[in-house]
Structure 1
Amino acid sequence: MNNDTWLASPSPYQALPDGHIRTLCLLPGLPDTPLEAQLKRQSLDAAEDDRDHGQAASEDNGFEAISYCWGNELSEQHLHLTNRSSLALTLSLYSALQAFRHTNQPRHLWVDAVCINQDDVVERSSQVQMMGRIYAKARRVLVWLGPCLPDGTETIAFVTLTAPIVARGDRPRRELLRIIERHLETATHCKCCHIAVSPPRRIRLEDALAAVAKLFERPWFGRLWVVQEVALAAQIRVHCGSHFVSWEYISI
């Protein structure tokens, strides 16, 4: 089916009952193939009642929330929905959905730009007021920092972040640096995705610290909404390209 068919399609949104949200069921696919998904309605109140009574969210009724920077540049690609409608995506969100899509099973996500009807002022206002509960209810928050740069800096940054440091408030800075330096002496691959350091070499401590500092300069770390999305999340995983670490490695 060509893009003209999708672009001529009707709006994908129907009115939401009170206390409901939409989730995005992202269908499986191979990397860089068109994104296809289905929007589903879900009662946030009922889901919270299940959680409060000790019923863990399953893959079918739970969801993961995406935290990212919107950006202004539109992608040439669209998100194709099963009701034959489509949505334009920013480059940032397109890259995030490509990174988070599974190849063999659907993935249930919540992302504001898609799950909220941005053209409906009343709905948008109501849903924004629920966002704290949405991030608190999510099984996991997926932080998307963006794609990797071609110079391999992110690989060095994530190799450094996964140094075996046990959180302890009284450790002097010199001791922490020694632990990182010993870790770097034998580090050749990123633990999360097994991407090799390129070109192969021993990573110098000053290069490692510079790579981490550069990672923290990414726009996501300057967003005001980060406080709400991180503070309320049950579990957080930070992604950059193919790399990922749990929030504990970032905040240690």
Structure 2
Amino acid sequence: MAQVDLYDAFETTRCVRLFELLPGKRGDALQGHLRVSNFDKRLYYEAVSYVWGSETDPVDLNCDGHQVKITQNLAAALRRFRREDSARTLWVDSVCINQANLQERSHQVHMMSDIYRKASCVLIWLGEDEENDASDAFACVRQLVTNIWSRKEDLARYVDLNGFMVTSKNADEIKAKFKLPSTDAIKSLDRLFAISWFDRAWTFQEYYVAREKTFFWGLHLFLVEDVVKALRSLLWLHRSTGDKFFDLHILNKGSQIISDEKSKSFRTGEERRDFFTIISRRRGTSCKDPRDLVYSIKGIITNGSLIEVDYSQPWRETFAASTARYISSSGNLDIFRDVCPGEQHAMLPSWVPDWRAKVRSPLLRMTVSLARPYHCSASSKAMSRLSSSYMEIRLHGILWDSIIAMNNQETETDMIWMQKKILNIPRDRTLDFQEQQELVNFCSKDFVYLPTSEDAFECYTRLACLDLDPLLFDRRLNRQSMSKEPKTEGYIHSLIKSQKQYMHGQNLAFTKYRRLGVVPGWARPGDVVAILMGGEVPIILRPDLSDGKYTLIGESYMHGFMDGEALVEARKQSDPSYDTNDTSWLEDLHEGQLPFPTTEFIIK
């Protein structure tokens, strides 16, 4: 909304404009001055973090004789921060940056994290308190700090405060001993964290880098330290009592503040703040310009050089270029976890995540929060090449297998029907003797899954849990209890049914070479299974026979081939004299030439 003729060009690339908000009383018009300052010199200013808000009914800001249109929400913030007797030096993005100059805008965005980091304080404007909730929320914060945080040593006697969703058996005693917030108090805190500031793309960086920061909600002021203590207290109450009353919108929104403060206080390595980790957390946050989903994290990630701020570049190219740079620099394909083909924007390539959407691919979701134990391409590194159109990426790997049938019937657990489909046998027709010999009865006591030499019971136990601890999926699926169960066809059916329940619509798949796996719900027969170099898991691709290129469908789990076994097969096929008992070379694939041929996949 700012006027172009208000802004003088910067003399150097290390300049910023600061806004001097002139003093005034409650009903006075807003006015102030802009001045250009050398950012490398010592400066004193406060930075404002806010949500732009609706552009209807804008307010005039008199800036050096120019009437600059600003939103009602920003006008309310400036009135709240204005002093009656002295000027206040602020940095406000929409006022201090010439938004009409794309070159300046790109350069200032590049400096944004430094601007907020250098500010003496970040003033976080949450908005007007139109429903008079702020006083109740403030009281709830104080109550949680006083009654829970200050007594955390007492609470620790009942529950491990650093544990993961541990529910105390003494919930009633905890509720009786500690004065817990009322329902209305919790709801007021819930409304606090429902404010749009907590869901805005840029606020993450503005909050994270600030040396000092304070929340303002209407006339009320909240110390960030108290809000963090209140949120942790609420999390402890949820863990210690198991009461869903405490598992509200608050913990979903506020968990970001808790984790951000914790990661700054207890650094646990750079991986926590790499491009993929942070943008996955921030996907779906609100912004007018989709490019800001990428640009807003540049200043806080450890590999910020991957992001080139350029507002003349279309958002689709920004997403594609950032994805390709991450793959090239990291040498892995972890970022494919965020690709959701069923939800993809039609104008995005299949291999580029649509970070505008909150949804993430549910396949292998249970494994993402853990240290994933999969290494299907061993120590190999991804070597990528991005096309000049930003629409295609070239990756190397092995064209390993293809899907022939899938169990996509929610009520179907008998795997025989898959093979009937392969042989074009009608589902309701009785098999003759020869056909029975050709089909594998997965639930037979004589069945052996050749890749792992497992019987049906052990094969489906591991397949149902993606070869992870069964307790992560269902307390009923623990190894001790399963060992006592009869190895019956009915029990194996129950394992398959449990697997389908926890895979959230994913499907069991049967491949051309009689391998079993779990694939995305939108996969279909004819899709190929590729072992791409740098990938933790096999990738499902859809071939386009018209041009020989592929569409990315998503990640998969292929039982018995998640730890380099497919590469051992490939080497044996290439060199029949190779001794498959020697697998030490799998640890050195990133250092030299691969001992097997690969295919170049062009993914569009």
TM-score interval, normalised by the smaller of the two chains: 0.7 to 0.9
CA–CA distance in 2 between the matches of 1:24 and 1:119? 18
Aligned equivalent of 2:197 = 220
User: Given residue 160 of structure 1, which amino acid in structure 2 is its aligned partner?
Assistant: C
Q: What is the CA deviation profile of residues 161-198 of structure 1, one whole-angstrom value per residue up to 9, with x for unaligned ones?
A: 233444759746976997664xxxxxxxxxxxxxxxxx
Percent identical across equivalent pairs?
A: 32
1:142 aligns with 2:136: no
Q: 1:114 to 1:177 in 2, by over 3 A?
A: farther
| Alignment check: 8 A CA contact 2:4 2:100 kept | no
Q: 1:76 to 1:180 in 2, by over 3 A?
A: farther
| Alignment check: 8 A CA contact 2:47 2:121 kept | yes
Q: 1:31 to 1:125 in 2, by over 3 A?
A: same
Aligned equivalent of 1:247 = 224
Larger radius of gyration: 2
CA–CA distance in 1 between the matches of 2:179 and 2:201? 30
Corresponding residue pairs, total:
208
Aligned equivalent of 1:132 = 113
CA–CA distance in 1 between the matches of 2:56 and 2:72? 5
User: Given residue 11 of structure 1, which amino acid in structure 2 is its aligned partner?
Assistant: D
How far apart are 1:13 and its partner, in Å? 0.8
Q: What is the CA deviation profile of residues 185-233 of structure 1, one whole-angstrom value per residue up to 9, with x for unaligned ones?
A: xxxxxxxxxxxxxxxxxxx711111000011000000112222111110
Aligned equivalent of 1:98 = 79
Aligned equivalent of 1:156 = 136
1:230 aligns with 2:224: no
Tell me which of 207, 213, 232 is aligned to 2:184: 207
CA–CA distance in 2 between the matches of 1:239 and 1:71? 16
Q: 1:178 to 1:241 in 2, by over 3 A?
A: farther
| Alignment check: 8 A CA contact 2:122 2:210 kept | yes
Q: CA RMSD in A?
A: 2.5
| Alignment check: 8 A CA contact 1:75 1:94 kept | no
1:1-252 map, 5 Å: 11-17=5-11, 18-47=13-42, 61-82=43-64, 84-150=65-131, 152-163=132-143, 164-165=145-146, 166=149, 171=156, 181=180, 205-252=182-229
Q: What is the CA deviation profile of residues 91-143 of structure 1, one whole-angstrom value per residue up to 9, with x for unaligned ones?
A: 11111111111111101110100000011111000000000000000000011
How far apart are 1:43 and its partner, in Å? 1.5
Q: 1:74 to 1:37 in 2, by over 3 A?
A: farther
Q: 1:10 to 1:222 in 2, by over 3 A?
A: closer
| Alignment check: 8 A CA contact 1:75 1:89 kept | no
CA–CA distance in 2 between the matches of 1:13 and 1:103? 27
CA–CA distance in 1 between the matches of 2:121 and 2:228? 17
User: Given residue 48 of structure 2, which amino acid in structure 1 is its aligned partner?
Assistant: I
Q: 1:248 to 1:180 in 2, by over 3 A?
A: farther
CA–CA distance in 1 between the matches of 2:198 and 2:29? 29
| Alignment check: 8 A CA contact 1:74 1:89 kept | no
Aligned equivalent of 1:184 = none
User: Given residue 64 of structure 1, which amino acid in structure 2 is its aligned partner?
Assistant: E
Q: TM-score, normalised by structure 2?
A: 0.33
How far apart are 1:77 and its partner, in Å? 2.3
SS of the aligned residue for 2:214 comes to strand
Q: 1:125 to 1:44 in 2, by over 3 A?
A: same
| Alignment check: 8 A CA contact 1:75 1:88 kept | no
CA–CA distance in 1 between the matches of 2:176 and 2:44? 40
| Alignment check: 8 A CA contact 2:126 2:217 kept | yes
Q: 1:205 to 1:124 in 2, by over 3 A?
A: same
Aligned equivalent of 2:535 = none
Q: 1:229 to 1:76 in 2, by over 3 A?
A: closer
How far apart are 1:72 and its partner, in Å? 2.9
CA–CA distance in 2 between the matches of 1:176 and 1:132? 43
Q: What is the CA deviation profile of residues 3-26 of structure 1, one whole-angstrom value per residue up to 9, with x for unaligned ones?
A: xxxx9x982210123201011100
User: Given residue 238 of structure 1, which amino acid in structure 2 is its aligned partner?
Assistant: F
How far apart are 1:66 and its partner, in Å? 0.6
Q: 1:207 to 1:139 in 2, by over 3 A?
A: same
In terms of mean alpha carbon deviation, does 137-146 or 166-175 score higher?
166-175
Bigger RCO of structures 1 and 2 (CA < 8 A, at least 6 apart): 1
Unaligned runs of at least 5 residues, structure 2: 162-170, 230-604
| Alignment check: 8 A CA contact 2:4 2:98 kept | no
User: Given residue 65 of structure 1, which amino acid in structure 2 is its aligned partner?
Assistant: A
User: Given residue 214 of structure 1, which amino acid in structure 2 is its aligned partner?
Assistant: R
SS of the aligned residue for 1:45 comes to coil
CA–CA distance in 1 between the matches of 2:175 and 2:91? 37
Q: 1:43 to 1:213 in 2, by over 3 A?
A: same
SS of the aligned residue for 1:142 comes to strand
CA–CA distance in 2 between the matches of 1:146 and 1:117? 24
